[in-house]
Amino acid sequence: MSYNSKMKKLKKDKIFVKECQDNILKIIKPGDVILEKGHYGLSDFYLAVPFYFIKLEAERLYGKKAIVDDIHIVRFLSPDKILNVTPPVAKWSTIENICLEDITIYTSTEYQYTDKDIKIIIDGMEAEHEYIDDNGISYKMKLIGSKYGIGDLFDFLVNGLGGYENKRKISFFDTTKNTKVCSTGIGISEAYLRHYKEQFYKNELIPKRWFSEIICEQKFYDENPKRAKLIINDWNKNNKRLDNEMYRPSTFANSVYYRNEFKKILRMSLGKIIE
């Protein structure tokens, strides 16, 4: 029986589903990210192909020992407000929607999100705002309800093959700034909070920009000696940071390569705690 068939069967057991939700809610905190492994049916073939190559590209970036099996990421803000940038459009999911998925939860090692922070993010994702990307290009978008940017998936591959791991310099398939994929959408939610607090609450604690430091370059050389020099050179040319447009699910799982921004706190599959 396939994973999706098992999950569909388990969803009928409302008591079990409630227990799964409770187990997650005992541990997860607002602001945490949830990574999901992919289990595709025939109808998902159009996604399975690019995701397969993105996993290969993640290995090219972080090495063979890296965590690269996660192909989707959502962000927990509250039990009924889980930011989910997914086909066909970005939406709010609930804890019930994701509790039986093949998931790993990561929490921030650097910042404790307050109720005010979470409200800022939720309100920001539900309204249209002007954004300025890492290339200085201004555009307007409302994330919730925006179309999924499947072209981004292919641009990840093209840029990686071109040696651009930290900044998107080639955009063959992404035809508009008003679409995101899961990981870049999560990045937008954090960037919005940071910029909002810099503007209106600059005297309060503000989260650091994600993936803006490589604490130990040697890890790239140890784990990925064939490409480490290219990656570090590209990093230095891009102001020593990873642009939001190049965030992947594997970025969050492998934050040890940067500032160790996230740590794993729970692994679950089909509602059962694995670690």
| Structural contact between residues 243 and 179, judged by C-beta atoms closer than 8 angstroms | no
Provide the domain count of the chain.
1
- Which residue would you say has higher pLDDT here, 47 or 42? 47
The predicted model scores a pTM of 0.91
Q: How many residues are recorded in the chain?
A: 275
**pLDDT tens-digit profile of 75-125?**
999 999 999 999 899 999 999 999 999 999 999 999 999 999 999 999 999
Q: From CA 187, how far away is CA 193, in angstroms rounded?
A: 10
Q: Look at residues 122, 126, 105 and name the one whose alpha carbon lies nearest to residue 113.
A: 122
> What is the token pair recorded at 223?
């784990």
Domain carrying residue 70? 3-273
Q: Look at residues 170, 177, 134, 136 and name the one whose alpha carbon lies nearest to residue 154.
A: 170
Residue 174: enclosing H or E segment and its boundaries?
none
Q: Which of 101-105, 223-227, 234-238 has the highest mean pLDDT?
A: 101-105
| Structural contact between residues 137 and 76, judged by C-beta atoms closer than 8 angstroms | no
List b or e across 240-249, with b for residues whose CB sees 16 or more CB atoms inside 10 angstroms. Answer: ebbbbbbbbb
- Among 20-34, 86-100, 132-146, 242-256, where is mean pLDDT lowest? 132-146
Largest distance between two CA atoms of the chain: 55
- Which residue would you say has higher pLDDT here, 210 or 129? 210
| Structural contact between residues 36 and 70, judged by C-beta atoms closer than 8 angstroms | yes
**pLDDT tens-digit profile of 179-204?**
788 999 999 999 999 999 999 999 99
Whether the predicted pLDDT of 163 surpasses 80: no
- Among 166-175, 176-185, 245-254, 259-268, where is mean pLDDT lowest? 166-175
